[in-house]
Chain A
């Protein structure tokens, strides 16, 4: 077994494919938390997005309708989170957990109702592949550069960065996340900004779900597989900065791809050990190397606070 059996274009391609949902969900979480709302509902949002994507594609026969449906579903579910956490100032962790449980149950319920199966939906049309300069015919990476959602995810990383750091909207979002009272006195609506942050998170996490669903051409129960939690870790690892969060998400993707590759070429390292790598990295890096990862000051705190 040689090393180039492990480090190859195929590994890169795998890494990108595995990272897409992590990146999208981590971006969503970053935006939501920048505005001061903790969103551990990612898992539920991903599931909702995946299910709505399949539903939209199933009924219309057009995958783009599926993408729209996923985003709508994401907005709808994050609306619950927004109302509960922002309007009624409930505990954001509890609300997020409740949404995760609700989404897991609701998607299964509708799966059974609509597709008469507790396991998976019927097959739907996937997203078409795009061709730029014949790049899609390139070996191995062709499939990546022609995938519309992968390209969209890459764009969204920079778009999120610009949104948070280069626009008035982003400034206000950061303001309500750091010091909502101060922002309010300057005429920024804390409710509105926070709701907007949560909605954007819903859209991004739902897109992560849509990617999972279209990659499989179907929905299957619990297909999110804990990806929302990994995305949250990536967000913390990335210090609440979209660029770093995306990079961290890609690192988790790389570790997973690496672990698969090691199994395939038959290296006798226990899988458990390799699966540990990203988490060990997180702990080590957070503990010293990259310095303190600081959340927005008002992250997780309802506004207005206790009188």
Chain B
């Protein structure tokens, strides 16, 4: 009976797929200090967050001589068990990339008090203290967003700019508020249109919706749109191409996604965060608690290079650089928390 075999084959294929899904990539054993890393959904090759984390680890491996192993959990996979697997090995410092790891790290870190854990974008709960072996690695996205907002405010011709957020959550509000404040700081007349793609995680992976929101903003006159919305933003770039306006990328330099249409990108240097954390861990100075990387510690920034130097005027850059110095010195305070609406 063919039916028997098809069923069996199917099952075997599924099992094989399951096994591959969670395989742990192991570096060769030696005496070097070991670090573990669990990627966020998407894993390597996401051209953003995870790739940046990977670059940070690679740099640490080359420059600091550490070894590391990493796990790429699939969609809906058990992040906690991935962390646990690394923590029970030789790894002394374990990274979780993404705010989704917050709860898992809280649980696992309690079971391995002699290991250090670091969580990128850790969501701090004011009612709950952070464990002494947990480093909450946070970025002042609002500061980088402020600068790209200033670039947008100085570059816009229509005096209308847009912002497209992914999921409507406090983390993304930081981008929105920083951006709006940056626009207003240099161009008080400029209008900022804000749109969010949704209220669930899907909102970060819906390019068609991103394009629709961008179209709607362009119809209202927006000629520059900043997005903080994962792959939803690819739709924003597509809209920028079609209607010939400019878009601003996020997290990493997104110029290559739509060459000529990306004014700049707000970069979040997850690699720097990871590298610095590894460095202080090796020096024995790493302590639990919140570590915030802003403009001051080169944790965030904007892109100005060969690709986009024709799109931004030198005067704009001069102005933005002076704003940057003011933020670092504390002269300008960038808002990051939304008032009750």
A interface residues, Cβ below 8 angstroms from B? 5, 8, 10, 13-14, 17-18, 21, 88, 104-105, 108, 112, 116-120, 212, 215-218, 220-223, 225-226, 256-257, 260-261, 263-266, 268, 270-272, 275
The chain B residue with its CB closest to the CB of A143 is B242
- Within 194-222 of B, Cβ neighbours of A (below 8 Å) are at 194-196, 198-199, 202, 205-209, 211-213, 215-217, 219-220
Which of B44-52, B86-94, B147-155, B181-189 contacts its partner? Answer: B44-52
Looking at the complex, which one of B75, B193, B217, B234 makes contact with A105 (CB distance below 8 Å)? B75
Interface centre among B194, B196, B235, B341, by most A CB within 10 Å? B235
| A117: contacting residue among B3, B47, B211, B220, CB under 8 A | B47
Count residues on chain B whose CB falls below 8 Å from chain A CBs: 38
In whole angstroms, how far apart are the Cα atoms of A215 and B210 in the complex?
12
**How far, in whole Å, are A275 and B195 apart by their CA atoms in the complex?**
13
Contact among B3, B44, B206, B216 with A10 in the assembled complex (CB-CB below 8 Å): B216
CB pair B219 A18 closer than 8 Å: no
B67 within 8 A of A: no
Looking across the interface, which residue of chain B has its beta carbon closest to that of A21? B208
Q: Are A217 and B220 in contact (CB under 8 A)?
A: no
Tell me whether A268 and B341 are in contact in the complex, defined as CB-CB below 8 angstroms, given that A10-B216, A215-B211, A225-B208 are known contacts.
Answer: yes
Whether a CB of chain A sits under 8 angstroms from the CB of B73 is: no
Determine if B212 and A18 form an interchain contact, defined as CB atoms under 8 angstroms apart. Answer: yes
Given contacts A117-B47, A256-B212, A265-B220, 4 further A-B contacts (CB under 8 A): A116-B45, A217-B238, A223-B208, A260-B212
B168 within 8 A of A: yes
Question: In the complex, what's the smallest C-beta–C-beta distance from B70 to chain A, in angstroms?
Answer: 14
- A119 near B220: Cβ-Cβ < 8 Å: no
How far is it, in angstroms, between the C-alpha of A117 and the C-alpha of B193 when the chains are bound? 31
Whether the Cβ atoms of A226 and B212 lie closer than 8 Å is no
Asked if A271 and B199 sit within 8 Å, CB to CB, the answer is: yes
Distance in angstroms between the alpha carbons of A218 and B207 in the assembled complex = 10
A216 and B208 contact, Cβ closer than 8 Å, known pairs A105-B74, A119-B45, A263-B194 = yes
**Chain B residue nearest to A218 in the complex (CB):** B234
| Cα–Cα, bound, A256→B211 (Å) | 13
Given contacts A14-B212, A105-B17, A118-B45, contact A216 B168 (CB under 8 A): no
Q: In the complex, which residues of chain B have a beta carbon less than 8 angstroms from the beta carbon of A5? A: 220
Contact B195 A226 (CB under 8 A): no
Q: Which of A118, A261, A268 contacts B46 (CB 8 A)?
A: A118
Determine how close the nearest CB of chain A comes to the CB of B14; give it in whole angstroms: 9
Minimal beta-carbon separation of B198 from chain A (angstroms): 7
Task: Find out whether the CB atom of A225 lies under 8 angstroms from the CB atom of B206.
Answer: yes
Looking at the assembled complex, report how far the CB atom of B21 sits from the nearest CB atom of chain A, in whole angstroms: 8
CB distance A223 to B207 under 8 Å? yes
Which partner residue on chain B sits nearest A220 by CB separation? B231
Contacts of A118 in B (CB 8 A): 42-46, 50
Beta-carbon contacts under 8 Å, B80-131 to A: none
Chain A residue with Cβ nearest B168: A271
Q: What are 8 A-B contacts defined by CB distance under 8 Å?
A: A212-B208, A215-B208, A215-B238, A216-B238, A260-B209, A263-B196, A264-B216, A275-B199
Query: Does the CB pair A120–B231 fall under 8 Å?
Result: yes
| Chain A residues whose CB sits within 8 angstroms of the CB of B238 once the complex forms | 215-217
> Are B213 and A88 interface neighbours, CB within 8 A?
no
Expressed in whole angstroms, the Cα–Cα distance for A217 and B217 within the complex equals 21
**In the complex, A88 Cα to B102 Cα: how many Å?**
44
* Nearest-Cβ distance from residue A295 to partner chain B, whole angstroms: 27
Nearest chain B CB to A90's CB is how many angstroms away?
Answer: 10
With both beta carbons as reference points, the residue of chain A lying nearest to B199 in the complex is identified as: A272
Give bound CA distance, A118 to B205, whole Å: 12
The CA of A217 and the CA of B211, in the complex, are separated in Å by: 12
Given contacts A116-B45, A117-B45, A120-B234, contact A263 B207 (CB under 8 A): no
Please name the residue on chain B nearest to A268 by beta carbon: B341
Chain B residues with Cβ below 8 Å from A265 are 220
Least CB distance, B257 to chain A, in whole angstroms? 8
Over the window 11-49 of chain B, the binary record of Cβ atoms lying under 8 Å from chain A Cβ atoms (1 yes, 0 no) is 000000100000000000000000000000011111110
Indicate if the CB atoms of B207 and A216 lie closer than 8 Å.
yes
Are the C-beta atoms of A119 and B216 separated by less than 8 Å? no
Residues from chain B with Cβ under 8 Å of A225 in the complex? 202, 205-206, 208-209
Pick the contact of B216: A212, A221, A261, A275 (CB < 8 A). A261
User: B residues within 8 A CB of A116?
Assistant: 45
**B 1-16 contacts with A by CB, 8 A:** 3
Q: Are B231 and A17 within 8 A (Cβ)?
A: no
Contacts of B235 in A (CB 8 A): 216
CA of A96 to CA of B17 in the docked complex: distance in angstroms? 19
